[in-house]
Chains A and B, each alone.
Chain A
């Protein structure tokens, strides 16, 4: 079983647009949306949810006021400053570590799991999809990504699928790292802007660190050809293949508004032809 992840470093470079088109082009796949806190792949693939799981990602401290003697040990021991002077727990700052419960001499602090989101297994026209929704503002997105990927591998085994296609989150932190473990190929989607260049280099370093075979796609390459050329040169120098260059085209937004993948919305467009070529390169590496 092969796993391909689409990442970017910088947000808004076109990961989901490209992943959705890949899903429409591929066969025998399981699709995963690892951008669990701002998931949008479902807006293009229209999954029908068949199974919902509660995600209990973290715990939250709760004080039993009847037992509390206001000694302040919990407050002073909390490294996250989540307990204030009147011994209220701030659910935003609490990281659920459990230190306050351990230091409390009165047994007044308890820990309860909280539901931090939901994982879904769904049917789409293109194959089974594993995705999730982290409740707004919750922590531990990396854990939820791990759950979503675990579900995807189980589905792939059950359905005997050869490929898992992953839409990754932006950035290079915990949910991205969780999206990359055990992945064979990482496609970095970038754009020819100063920010795009800066961010894709860091994304490449991350792939390198985790020994994932990198490919690069320059999206909207024609908004700054000089920068696009700089990206190509950098990749050549570092032995990374630029597997695709996609032009800027308002069609992409039109397809999004129509709720369709670009390759289905406008199969004859240059954007679609480039995505088909890109898929061919990334898939048959």
Chain B
């Protein structure tokens, strides 16, 4: 089963839920798809066994053949090429690697070359297998790095995906094709607002979901009312406790110090498996 953890709003506890759930289970693979700001490894402190660069392809123009007709720039939806009478300028950060410029070039003056935009790392922490990606700073497009992380999925394990915050393309890329999505929300107006957008996203891509309420006790009751109204299951509540916040600040998953929580996370998975029918 592939289970993704998402939230809309940042800082609601996605990584906390993903890591503590993974530590409570057997035979689990944890994928950190928040490649802009990966944090899972800070809590799990894995031994890294392997690293792989992530490449995208970007165009290179052979100026000796190019007659500056401008068809490539005209075609490119992302404004990654600019053709002046003397020279073709390429903006690799804007390129989506669709390959279209090379196809439309009448002179066949464009070839594609590899460009590294990030790295994926594979490691182990106890019984948890971890894969995470890192987008290089100043690179704008996390998508290909997320894809590279997801190529490492092992079908015979329980796979947990920690998604980035937000509700746009990197989140879709991360949660796409999951069997179930856990939405981690805090019971505040910001938390509820962003949860609602995430619910729209998941309805659109048809992934079943439930809610884990983190920092229960702060804020107001509107999140609970919303869940009841929409018949969205509240799968687990993690109370706002200074101890949990302190452990997180030190980079310690709280189930390690508060082992009574392991069973609750195991029950969480059981409940999800029941809902998915696996």
Bitwise, A68-111 to B at CB < 8 A (1) or not (0) is 00000000010110000000000011011111001100000000
Q: How many residues on the B side are at the interface (Cβ–Cβ under 8 A)?
A: 60
Q: Contact: A77 with B248, CB < 8 Å? A: no
Q: B198 to chain A: which residues have CB within 8 Å?
A: 136
> Is B137 an interface residue, CB under 8 A from the partner?
yes
Q: Contact: A169 with B98, CB < 8 Å? A: no
Q: Contact: B37 with A172, CB < 8 Å? A: yes
Q: Contact: B166 with A194, CB < 8 Å? A: no
Whole-angstrom distance from the CB of B97 to the nearest CB of chain A? 6
With beta carbons under 8 angstroms apart, the residue of A172, A209, A227, A256 that contacts B190 is A256
> Is A177 an interface residue, CB under 8 A from the partner?
yes
Whole-angstrom distance from the CB of A133 to the nearest CB of chain B? 9
> Is B250 an interface residue, CB under 8 A from the partner?
yes
Q: Contact: B189 with A37, CB < 8 Å? A: no
Residues 114-140 of A contacting B (Cβ, < 8 Å): 134, 136-140
Residues 192-250 of B contacting A (Cβ, < 8 Å): 193-194, 197-198, 200-201, 204-205, 218-220, 242, 245-246, 248-250
With beta carbons under 8 angstroms apart, the residue of B138, B193, B248 that contacts A206 is B138
> Is B29 an interface residue, CB under 8 A from the partner?
no
**A59-B77 contact in complex given A10-B10, A136-B197, A193-B248, C-beta closer than 8 Å:** yes
Q: Contact: A38 with B165, CB < 8 Å? A: yes
Q: Contact: A77 with B103, CB < 8 Å? A: yes
> Is A259 an interface residue, CB under 8 A from the partner?
yes
Q: Contact: A9 with B168, CB < 8 Å? A: no
> Is A11 an interface residue, CB under 8 A from the partner?
yes
Q: Contact: A192 with B249, CB < 8 Å? A: yes
Q: Majority SS of interface residues in chain A?
A: loop
Q: Contact: A141 with B37, CB < 8 Å? A: no
Q: A21 to chain B: which residues have CB within 8 Å?
A: none
How distant is the Cα of A174 from the Cα of B251 in the complex, in angstroms?
28
Q: Contact: A253 with B168, CB < 8 Å? A: no
CB closest residue in chain A, given B166: A37
Contact-residue size bin, chain A (C-beta under 8 Å from the other chain): 35 or more
With beta carbons under 8 angstroms apart, the residue of B11, B96, B100, B242 that contacts A102 is B100
How distant is the Cα of A198 from the Cα of B251 in the complex, in angstroms?
11
Q: Contact: B99 with A79, CB < 8 Å? A: yes
Q: A171 to chain B: which residues have CB within 8 Å?
A: 34, 36-37, 142, 164-166, 170
> Is A199 an interface residue, CB under 8 A from the partner?
yes
Q: Contact: A227 with B166, CB < 8 Å? A: no
How distant is the Cα of A141 from the Cα of B171 in the complex, in angstroms?
12
14 contacts across the A-B interface (CB closer than 8 A) = A11-B10, A43-B193, A97-B100, A99-B98, A99-B99, A136-B200, A137-B171, A171-B170, A205-B137, A209-B137, A227-B250, A253-B188, A253-B218, A256-B188
Q: CB within 8 Å of A: which residues of B?
A: 8-12, 15, 34, 36-37, 39, 42-43, 75, 77-78, 96-100, 103-104, 135, 137-142, 164-172, 176, 188-190, 193-194, 197-198, 200-201, 204-205, 218-220, 242, 245-246, 248-251
